[in-house]
């Protein structure tokens, strides 16, 4: 059986996107689905509004009853746990560790720009040390026609190769195509006529783009025997975060690696991945570091799908 999927849910926000995405993953993989409903009462208590606890608990109960009925109507069996603690990130982190989650799903905030992750939000705080891969689902996301294209942010690094392997496994399992996305800024490229300074060799956009594409194609060749799906490569010379955010309009799911240092089995954001998760137009899965933090327990060949 696949490792369970844990999705964070706050009834009063009425944000169904993360639950819908988690339910779709559970149906595709046969993984058990656990909805971690963060109790609103513990939040109001923490800011000195204990008198509102009973009213908040009633509102939570109504929201969970509606959620349970909606999931059952969609043919999804889910365990709903009410989580109490000092903060949503803390209780979700602890629950993910407790159940051995293969994926932790959270939504972006609906404050500020629609569907964007606010600094300090549950999603951003969780991703600085989540114990398993984490998916951030934009507020406006809907299931639509499913997942036909999986994108992967590729860099020629251990984390980049891990992301490619994971994305290929997801695409193969879902019957989707794979789009390998590579981008970098040219080092030493001068602002005038492509000339670097006296100490740095000039590097043209063409040279950087060719190197990016060549490294991606070598990595694809390494997984060609196990891939079994259509793969295309898209390389760009420029700001990697902006490139990936733009590409997220044309894929149904984007897989990214963690930054290249820190504890194993923890999601750690770099500058590029942090910006992408905040502004992407599709769900983004960020892997935890090391093979133990891969998507294999969820999308591996041994997992038994129910849909």
Tell me what pLDDT residue 272 has. 82
Q: Please give the pLDDT value at position 299.
A: 77
Q: Is residue 236 part of a domain?
A: yes
Residue-range definition of the domain harbouring residue 249: 5-299
Does 33 have pLDDT greater than 90? Answer: yes
274 domain-assigned: yes
Predicted TM-score (pTM) of the model is 0.82
Q: Name the domain count of the chain.
A: 1
* Between 49 and 254, residue with greater pLDDT: 254
CA 42 to each of CA 55, 82, 86, 89: distance values in angstroms, whole numbers, following the listed order: 12, 11, 7, 13
Side-chain half-sphere CA neighbours of 208 within 13 A:
20
Provide the percentage of residues in the chain whose pLDDT is more than 90.
Answer: 33
**68 in any annotated domain:** yes
* Cβ neighbours of residue 96 closer than 8 Å, sequence gap 6 or more: 6, 104, 130, 131, 132
Task: Specify if 304 maps to a domain.
Answer: no
**pLDDT at position 49, please?**
46
**Would you state the pLDDT for residue 145?**
76
Q: Span 146-174, mean pLDDT?
A: 90
Res. 246: pLDDT tops 70: yes
Residue 305 is assigned to a structural domain of this protein: no
pLDDT: is 298 or 217 the higher one?
A: 217
Q: What is the pLDDT of residues 37-55, one digit of tens each?
A: 887 544 444 444 444 455 5
- Number of neighbouring beta carbons within 10 Å of residue 149: 18
Residue 148 lies in a domain: yes
Is pLDDT of 17 > 80?
Answer: yes
Whether residue 307 lies inside any domain: the answer is no
Q: What pLDDT score does 58 carry?
A: 63
What are the C-alpha distances in Å from 139 to residues 41, 45, 123, 191, 257?
Answer: 23, 27, 12, 39, 22
Structure token digits, residue 144: 């639509």
- pLDDT band of residue 273 (cuts 50, 70, 90) is confident
Q: What is the pLDDT of residue 56?
A: 55
| Inside any domain, residue 247 | yes
Q: Which stretches of the chain are assigned E, i.e. beta strand?
A: 5-9, 33-38, 78-83, 103-107, 134-137, 149-153, 177-184, 231-237, 253-256, 284-286
Mean of per-residue pLDDT scores for the chain: 78
pLDDT tier at 153 (50, 70, 90 boundaries)? very high
Q: Count Cβ neighbours within 10 Å for each residue of 176-206 and write b for 16 or more, e otherwise.
A: bbbbbbbbbebeebeeeeeeeeeeeeebeee
Lowest average pLDDT, out of 58-72, 98-112, 184-198, goes to 184-198
Query: 34 with 7: CB under 8 angstroms?
Result: yes
Give the CATH number, domain containing residue 118: 3.40.50.12370
């Amino acid at each position: 059986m696949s490792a369970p999927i844990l999705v964070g849910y706050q009834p009063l926000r009425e944000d169904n996107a993360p639950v819908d995405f988690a339910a779709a993953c559970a149906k595709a993989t046969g993984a058990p689905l656990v909805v971690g409903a963060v109790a609103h009462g513990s939040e109001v208590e923490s800011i000195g509004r204990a008198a509102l606890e009973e009213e908040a608990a009633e509102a939570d109960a109504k929201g969970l009853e509606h959620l349970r009925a909606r999931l059952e109507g969609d043919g999804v069996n889910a365990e709903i746990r009410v989580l109490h603690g000092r903060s949503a990130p803390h209780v979700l982190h602890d629950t993910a560790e407790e159940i051995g989650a293969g994926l932790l799903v959270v939504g972006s905030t609906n404050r500020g720009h629609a569907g964007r992750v606010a600094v300090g939000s549950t999603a951003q705080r969780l991703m600085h040390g989540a114990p398993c891969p984490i998916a951030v689902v934009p507020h406006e996301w809907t299931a639509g026609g499913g997942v036909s294209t999986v994108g992967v942010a590729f860099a020629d690094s251990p984390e980049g190769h891990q992301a490619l392997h994971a994305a290929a496994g997801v695409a193969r399992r879902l019957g989707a195509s794979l789009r390998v996305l590579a981008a970098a800024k040219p080092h030493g490229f001068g602002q005038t006529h492509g000339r670097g300074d006296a100490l740095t060799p000039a590097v043209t956009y063409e040279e950087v783009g060719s190197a990016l594409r060549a490294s991606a194609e070598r990595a694809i060749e390494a997984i060609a025997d196990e891939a079994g799906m259509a793969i295309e490569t898209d390389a760009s010379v420029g700001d990697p975060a902006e490139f990936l955010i733009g590409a997220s309009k044309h894929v149904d799911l984007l897989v990214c690696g963690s930054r290249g240092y820190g504890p194993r089995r923890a999601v750690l954001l770099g500058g590029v991945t942090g910006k992408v998760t905040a502004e992407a137009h599709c769900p983004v899965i960020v892997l935890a570091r090391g093979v133990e933090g891969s998507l294999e327990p969820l999308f591996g060949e041994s997992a038994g799908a129910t849909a």
